Structure 1
């Protein structure tokens, strides 16, 4: 009998059967897309505040904070989403929907509104 090596996280890999590698790799690409989104949101928030751009300072700061908070939430979505999807693949269950996609989408809309107001009131 072949001994399986321990994989992290065990609570993902200890259930079900090994899925088609293409599905696991697609799940990993989705994880990385969330990480890229986190970097972009965080960098956008930092750049917005660092550059100033002659926008109304209070609204600019609020938009920057919302971007950085959304960027901080994305890695949580990436990790939890990857685990939930991998478990679903291994158990041949329907794939779960992303938990934070709506709140992050709303955050981006809020940033857009804040920036429109910051432009209007400069």
Structure 2
């Protein structure tokens, strides 16, 4: 006979609420979390690459674009964690899922970085 042992799951603020949702939804939420982390790594890599490689771009604009991308890359994991926890709690409570908190600032930041790089190319 197999014995089931209940163990505490982290974070308690998420798993201590509601009832266990369909595992497919929990796994999809985890994949979304991982996609946000991949996005963060891409933003960080792009920001570092702008400054690491000697590109013929206007230096101040290149640096500004690099810093915008790195800042976004640092913020995105916070979005990933907060979004995962919020969505997991909502699924456990049977509530609707909310939109990502940083979706608009992230989109605006990428546009700003793109404009800065475009200007850096034109003004070199």
Same fold, judged at TM 0.5 (above): yes
Q: How many residues align?
A: 122
TM-score by length of 1: 0.97
Q: Structure 2: how far apart are the matches of 1:79 and 1:30?
A: 10
Partner of 1:86: 88
1:20 to 12, 19, 22: 22
| Displacement of 1:96 | 1.1
Q: Structure 2: how far apart are the matches of 1:9 and 1:96?
A: 20
2:98 to 96, 99, 102: 96
TM-score by length of 2: 0.95
Give the gaps of 5 or more residues in structure 2. none
Partner of 1:59: 61
Partner of 1:29: 31
| Displacement of 1:3 | 5.1
- The 3-state SS of whatever aligns with 1:53 is coil
| Displacement of 1:52 | 2.9
1:44-97 CA distances to partner (integer Å, 9 max, x unpaired)? 000011113110000000000000000000100000000000000000000011
Give the gaps of 5 or more residues in structure 1. none
